[in-house]
Chains A and B, each alone.
Chain A
Amino acid sequence: AQSVSQHNHHVILSEAASLELGCNYSYGGTVNLFWYVQYPGQHLQLLLKYFSGDPLVKGIKGFEAEFIKSKFSFNLRKPSVQWSDTAEYFCAVNPTGANNLFFGTGTRLTVIP
């Protein structure tokens, strides 16, 4: 079945550590890719998106993601996390022709001061 996989369910890091969250999808063809963040008690906010062009996408708050088409991956990275990055992170895929997003199950990030 087509899906979006986030293999890291809960990641715990100390402040200043580097972060990489995995996202793999199984949809064929052209896709639009997104990372959303959900801070505790809040709604989803867009971190970054990839529609086309440079596969290395820079988003808000120092986050970036790299689209690797051959690996069907769109991993999220940040070189140095802060306590305020504690949140849940969702990868989402919009296959071309589809009207909606397909979400991964999310990765909870806890950053220890």
Chain B
Amino acid sequence: DAGITQSPRYKITETGRQVTLMCHQTWSHSYMFWYRQDLGHGLRLIYYSAAADITDKGEVPDGYVVSRSKTENFPLTLESATRSQTSVYFCASNAQGDTQYFGPGTRLTVL
């Protein structure tokens, strides 16, 4: 089915471990985004990508790494997870100048 999917939906990990969150969209949207949602902060942009092989930092990029080798995929990696990275992570995509659509989210807990 067309749309934007995220995996895993839930993840529990330990401090210091590497974690990768996956995002896949079937619309061939050029733009993709990663946000984190925390109480009292709304959604904050971590990284975004305007096209394959083009990525840029958002508001809160520290501790995260992204890549975009294919238009449809935009994985987010926490190289060494910290407790402060416990959050709900949303991936989103849009065509240039159009509405942004969100994935179902990944709830990450870092112990």
> What residues of chain A have their CB less than 8 Å away from a CB belonging to chain B?
6, 34, 36, 42-46, 49, 90, 92, 99-106
**Contact between A100 and B99 (Cβ–Cβ < 8 Å)?**
no
**Contact A43–B90 (Cβ < 8 Å):** yes
The CA-CA distance from A46 to B90 in the complex, in Å, is 14
Q: How large is the interface on B (under 10, 10 to 19, 20 to 34, 35 or more residues)?
A: 20 to 34
With A99-B50, A100-B48 given, is the CB distance from A44 to B102 under 8 Å?
Answer: yes
- A47 CB to nearest B CB, Å: 11
Residue of chain A at shortest CB distance from B45 = A100
Residue of A nearest to B41 (CB): A105
Out of B45, B50, B56, B90, name the residue touching A44 (CB < 8 Å): B90
Cα A42 to Cα B37 in complex, Å, equals 12
A103 touches B90 (CB 8 A): no
Asked if B27 is at the interface of the complex by the 8 Å CB criterion, the answer is no
Q: A99-B50, A100-B58 are in contact. Are A106 and B42 (CB under 8 A)?
A: yes
Q: How far is the CA of A43 from the CA of B6 in the complex (A)?
A: 11
Q: What is the distance, in angstroms, from A108's C-beta to the closest C-beta of chain B? A: 10
For B31, what are the chain A residues with a Cβ–Cβ distance below 8 Å? Answer: 99
Q: Which of A34, A42, A106 has the most CB of B within 10 A?
A: A106
Q: Are B99 and A49 in contact (CB under 8 A)?
A: yes
Q: What residue in chain B is nearest A46 (Cβ atoms)?
A: B99
Residue of A34, A100, A103, A106 with most chain B CB atoms under a 10 A cut-off: A100
**Other-chain residue from A6, A42, A101, A105 in contact with B100 (beta carbon distance below 8 A):** A101
Q: How far is the CA of A45 from the CA of B43 in the complex (A)?
A: 14
The residues of A that contact B48 with a CB separation of less than 8 Å are 99-100
